[in-house]
Structure 1
Amino acid sequence: MRLSGFATGMDINQMVTDLMRAERMPMDRMKQDQQQMEWKMDQYRQINVKLDQFRTSIFDTILRRSNMMAKSASSSNEQLIKATATASAGEGTFRISEVKSLATAATNASTNEISSGDKIDPTKKLADQNFRDETFWKTGVVNRQVVTVDQKHTNIDLNTELGNPDSVVVRVNGVSYQVVEAFGEGDIRATQVMVNKGTGTDGKDELEFASAVSKGARIEVTDFEEVEGGKDTFTTSEITTYNANGQEVKDTFVITDNQTMNDVIKQMNSSSTGINVFYDAFSDKVSVSRTQTGNYNEGGNEMTFSGDFFSKALSLNNANEQGGTNAVFTVNGLETHRQSNTFTMNGVTMTLQGTFEAGTNSVTIGASTNVDKVMDTIKSFVEEYNELVDMVNEKTGEEYYRDYRPLTDDQKDAMTDREIERWEEKAMSGLLRNDRTLRSGFNTFRMDMYSPVQGLDANTLNQIAQIGITTTNNFRDGGKLEINEDKLRKAIESDPEAVYQLFAADGPTHADKGLARRVRASADGLIDRLSRTAGGMRGRNLNHQFTLGREMNNLEDRISNFERRMQQVEQRYWSQFNAMEKAIAQSNAQAESLFAQLYSGM
């Protein structure tokens, strides 16, 4: 129990508070030190974030050949031929003197209306439709299983047993896979699958894919068997097309009467055969076309439809196909073919827009260095570098105000928000003044930028000043760069490869590396050093993993220990004052008793 001035009349509570305020002064200093460490850590981390952004930007911009060797293509007649260029484009020109034909896609369409009476409603079940010829339906058993892959692997357990593998259709995310007895060779292997009988969980069947199926993939397995009087009504049909290598691409469709026309069309459009199908309600016909232009099966059909559903229900006749054609044109005196109207020659991508005869038109396609894009890339690199230099120069050159320590809670209570803000601006200033890690890191950057690149040809560019990039004349800028745009443009126009190698050369030693590659490596090292000091990167997110964090932990322990001592000191003060109150109270009681005895007879 605490007695507060009952005997003495003194404000004991205020006296203890004042005494403890003096006792707590070392704790206030420790908390101020802790706040300074937090501010310092935040400033280090801000610089580290900027360094990491700069490091990433170097990789995505100036180190990419596509940016530093950017080419632009020009066409003398863009209405006939459009052109774009990649970084690998040569400096030559192409003269296209004739375009005999453009590439077209193979098409087919129903020969007759496919319905009898009311036209097809694509949203209703096929069983409820009136097809012109309905003799395509079969009876039997159709089992469909859908499995969603929980993790990436090649073996998938099924819920039920499958029948004859020849009567199994497997689709992964809508793409048909070839069911085989053994895996083959070549590109087709990636879309092959085997049915392993009884090897799955509880003796169920298992699918084994030639290549791992990704997590989340939707596998649809359809197993069908024709049985007289079976419970299911279905039909099967097949489409065969050809890929760019002339190889057959087949897909089997198991169509049940409870599906809609929209379901069937969606399945056909998502198949690996590369076709596009739509039903036209006005003509009551189906149109089919290849998604790719060109001739992939010389002398034969590009699309072959087999099965009663296609021939009877959709009235598709293979003889009615309008075959795909190649683009035929003459370039630099050579007549050549392409399966697409868009193609690439020597890094120049051309798109044929129309046909024209020899002698009537002639289109010249040229490729040259896109000087503006290369300059923009280099200027962006220099601007980011200068921003980083500005940021660090500001921090390392800030004035340090020794008299402006972080405010305590009591001090904040006595100040306005504006006064607190202005005080803390000065209290945060100069925490990184003349920081050795930062100054050392940016001195390394300057050496990286100004030192010649070793290992390049003697007659090529090897110093940054040779392309018009130098340091500013003001020494207070701390090594910022400035660009002579005329000199830089001239260097890019004369030898873009040399300019690229000046920044991006990748030699065996640091001296042999290009300027940007050196700076990126040095930035990586500085990021690591700063993260060891202030954390926040490279997996150093816990206080014990970096220097300032460990110091803050130690200081926190000291504060906790000091707080316990302060509780003991405060208890001691109260005990002393309580004892004094009790003694004075007893003295007062004795005095009153003596006074009563002395004057009781009067």
Structure 2
Amino acid sequence: MPMRISGMSSGMDIDKIVSDLMKVERLPQSKLKQKKDLASFQMDLYREINTKMSAFRESMNAMRYSTNMTGMKGTSSSTDVNVGVSSNLPATSFSVSTNKLAVAAQLSSSAKISTEGFTGSALSASVDITSSNSQMLVTFDGITKAINLTEKTGYTPSELQVELQKQLDTSFGQNKVKVNLTGANELQLDPSAGSNGYKPQIKFIEVNGAVNSLGFTDNQSFRLDLNSSLAASSSKFASGAIVDGEFKVNGVSINYTSSDTLQDVIQRVNSAGTGATMSYDAFNDKIVFKNSATGATQVTLEQVSGNLLSALNFTSGSISSADAIPNAVKGQAAEFTITKADGTSVNVTSNTNQYQISSSMDPELSKLNDLAGINLTLNKVTTAPVSVNVSGDADGIVNKVKSFVTAYNDLIELVNKRLNETKSKGYAPLTEEQRADMEDKDIQLWDEKVKAGLLHDSSLLKDIKNQLREVFTTNVNGVSSEFNALFKVGITTAPYIRGQQQDAGKLIIDETQLRNAIAKDPQAVSQLFTSNPGVESQKGVAVKLYEKSNDFLSSLIKKAGKVGGSTTDITTELGKNVADIQLKILDWNDKLSKKEDVFYKRFSTMESAVAKNNSVLSWLSKQS
């Protein structure tokens, strides 16, 4: 880079001259930046459409399943039983009496599996703490912090007690952990119990020798540490050392070694397809095996070899929750009675507390076939029959239709606006220099002018408008001819009003006509939106619109990327365009830097010549 000197000899403002010259040189790069800004603005506008399209798709998703559009609703007289309706059926009423809830079988340790306590070995009469043995990590109640002991030569045991107490108080708060000193000069930690009596876990982790200097061992903890190896945890198990071996959960083998942690074993059980989960109840210090499914099944455990189950305080040998032991919960099915309005009572047994009444060939359950499509959730054993009513739910369908129409109108209004906008003459993207000289509000107004018309006549937006409109004018085959099109249930296109292009194609609802249709044939209205037998001509309106909105979202993402995504995402059409332009802009930075150096070099040469001439003239003037 040449020396950049001012015009001391020539009297010229070299920096100003070069700056003006560079403005001309930067014109090609400025045009590239404006081109990049235009592409970025286009991305923003398409992503704005994407947002509206996503909202429209979600409204279709709420309508495309028949279970959401039954036109019926269920209510109960008590929260002991919840009711849902997943198919069209006549209004009806009945009662539910719950005798037993479904319960998952479980087994838990018969007693605590570990011993509590955190006591170190006897300390010397004098302990030196220096930079080489002052640091350690302490985990308390799930929070880990670094602790630095104050360096000192010749700590007495009582002084170390005070120092450790001070550091723990500073890190975790006053009175969280009590540091005691036994008569044998052993430091002893005692976490303070909460209101429920539970004492949190505390653990020391060695960094550079501080743990050992305090008389403790690396990873020593107050209670059993799930992440320490079974071998290292032997002192915490009430039963002592763990021997390698195998046990079975519901007949599935689980192998372990003393190098595994208890957390490893828990994860192994939970991922082995045993049909049960294994967990640690920290409050009660017990292991719990619980079947994943409710119903009259049992948890079975068998110690094949080793001693882990025994160490976890489960009876040695083969045991199950069917055994009469205090720590077992026997699995059971739900038992309840449905009594219909005509007095017919049916006793039902279910392995879960969620029961869907469906058509059955069973002589007893077939008495409920007229209630097929009603879903019951049993929450509590009842003391009195719970009354259930199934009645028309016109509001449910009407509200979903209103949401769909609102989402569509929001989308089509924005599409119309962008298609009909024309470019504003005289507005180009602002340069960096122009933005620096303008107020934020003025920049925003200018950018809006620049964005206007960028999606004018977009083929993608035209496809969105035309293909969605086509669905609204198509009959749905297989649905009652009285209600097989939107206009037949009161959903029509608003009339065109000159000068209001943004409202062209919007939908309007005749709510009275819609409610009358639902009252007359709720199943037909439901099918108009949700029919989906796999034949294109028989697909319901919501099904078709959901599929098309999905397709259009994919096209919008391919064009401009996801909302909030990078503007230089080369997997998108506009993103690649922006990235390519950005590379050209970077290339120009190097060219312009070199060009600026050339200008300064030339002016430097000129300045040297002028200085030399001035020197000669000065000498000549002195000779006369």
Q: TM-score range by the shorter chain?
A: 0.5 to 0.7
RMSD of aligned residue pairs (Cα, Å): 5.0
Displacement of 1:446: 0.7
- Distance in 2, matches of 1:214 and 1:41, equals 51
Counterpart in 2 of 1:27?
29
SS in 1 for 2:427: coil
The AA in structure 2 aligned to 1:412 is R
Counterpart in 2 of 1:337?
347
Larger radius of gyration: 1
- Distance in 2, matches of 1:196 and 1:51, equals 52
- Distance in 2, matches of 1:584 and 1:441, equals 70
Counterpart in 2 of 1:317?
none
Q: Does 1:193 align with 2:255?
A: no
Counterpart in 2 of 1:517?
543
Q: Does 1:467 align with 2:466?
A: no
The AA in structure 2 aligned to 1:43 is L
Counterpart in 2 of 1:379?
402
Change (3 A) 1:532 1:594: same
Provide Cα deviations, 1:57-99, integer angstroms capped at 9, x if missing partner.
Answer: 422x101222101422467xx4899783412363163567xx9
Counterpart in 2 of 1:17?
19
Counterpart in 2 of 1:533?
559
The AA in structure 1 aligned to 2:86 is A
Displacement of 1:501: 2.0
Q: Does the 8 Å contact 1:274/1:291 carry over to 2?
A: no
Change (3 A) 1:375 1:409: same
Provide Cα deviations, 1:546-575, integer angstroms capped at 9, x if missing partner.
Answer: 221222222123222333222232222222
Counterpart in 1 of 2:272?
212
Counterpart in 1 of 2:478?
456
Write out aligned runs for 1:458-497 (5 A).
459=481, 461-475=483-497, 476=501, 477-497=503-523
Counterpart in 1 of 2:426?
403
Change (3 A) 1:427 1:95: closer
Q: Does the 8 Å contact 2:243/2:308 carry over to 1?
A: no
Provide Cα deviations, 1:237-278, integer angstroms capped at 9, x if missing partner.
Answer: xx9xx9856x6666799999999xxx99xxxxxx96699989
Q: Does 1:546 align with 2:568?
A: no
- Distance in 1, matches of 2:529 and 2:460, equals 25
Unaligned segments of structure 1, at least 5 residues: 107-121, 125-143, 150-158, 171-176, 179-191, 221-238, 265-270, 279-287, 296-325, 357-362
Q: Does 1:103 align with 2:102?
A: no
Change (3 A) 1:49 1:418: closer
- Distance in 1, matches of 2:93 and 2:275, equals 47
Counterpart in 2 of 1:45?
47
SS in 2 for 1:4: coil
Change (3 A) 1:334 1:257: same
Displacement of 1:585: 2.5
Provide Cα deviations, 1:139-166, integer angstroms capped at 9, x if missing partner.
Answer: xxxxx998999xxxxxxxxx84448xxx
Counterpart in 2 of 1:283?
none
- Distance in 2, matches of 1:424 and 1:274, equals 76
Provide Cα deviations, 1:316-356, integer angstroms capped at 9, x if missing partner.
Answer: xxxxxxxxxx7596763434434699975424467895569
Write out aligned runs for 1:38-437 (5 A).
38-59=40-61, 61-73=62-74, 78=77, 84-88=83-87, 90-91=89-90, 93=92, 103=99, 160-162=243-245, 177-178=249-250, 192-194=251-253, 212-213=272-273, 218=278, 332-338=342-348, 345=368, 346=371, 347-348=373-374, 366-437=389-460
Provide Cα deviations, 1:478-529, integer angstroms capped at 9, x if missing partner.
Answer: 2110100111111112222222222222254544422222222222222222
- Distance in 2, matches of 1:484 and 1:536, equals 36
Change (3 A) 1:555 1:62: same
- Distance in 2, matches of 1:145 and 1:486, equals 67
Q: Does the 8 Å contact 2:71/2:523 carry over to 1?
A: no
Counterpart in 2 of 1:139?
none
Displacement of 1:377: 1.4
Change (3 A) 1:531 1:148: farther
The AA in structure 1 aligned to 2:551 is G
- Distance in 2, matches of 1:243 and 1:3, equals 87
SS in 2 for 1:434: coil
Q: Does 1:593 align with 2:619?
A: yes
Displacement of 1:41: 1.0
Change (3 A) 1:529 1:462: same
- Distance in 2, matches of 1:383 and 1:583, equals 77
Q: Does the 8 Å contact 1:531/1:540 carry over to 2?
A: no
Change (3 A) 1:35 1:589: same
- Distance in 1, matches of 2:542 and 2:493, equals 16
Displacement of 1:373: 0.7
Displacement of 1:470: 0.3
Change (3 A) 1:548 1:214: farther
- Distance in 2, matches of 1:367 and 1:330, equals 12
- Distance in 1, matches of 2:271 and 2:506, equals 53
TM-score by length of 2: 0.59
Displacement of 1:415: 2.5
Change (3 A) 1:524 1:355: closer
Provide Cα deviations, 1:75-125, integer angstroms capped at 9, x if missing partner.
Answer: 7xx4899783412363163567xx9x872689xxxxxxxxxxxxxxx989x
Counterpart in 1 of 2:527?
501
Q: Does the 8 Å contact 2:568/2:579 carry over to 1?
A: no
Change (3 A) 1:276 1:583: farther
Counterpart in 1 of 2:601?
575
Q: Does the 8 Å contact 1:251/1:273 carry over to 2?
A: no
How many residues are treated as equivalent by the alignment? 447
Displacement of 1:402: 3.1
Q: Does the 8 Å contact 1:462/1:502 carry over to 2?
A: yes
- Distance in 1, matches of 2:85 and 2:374, equals 6
Change (3 A) 1:366 1:515: same
Q: Does the 8 Å contact 2:74/2:388 carry over to 1?
A: yes
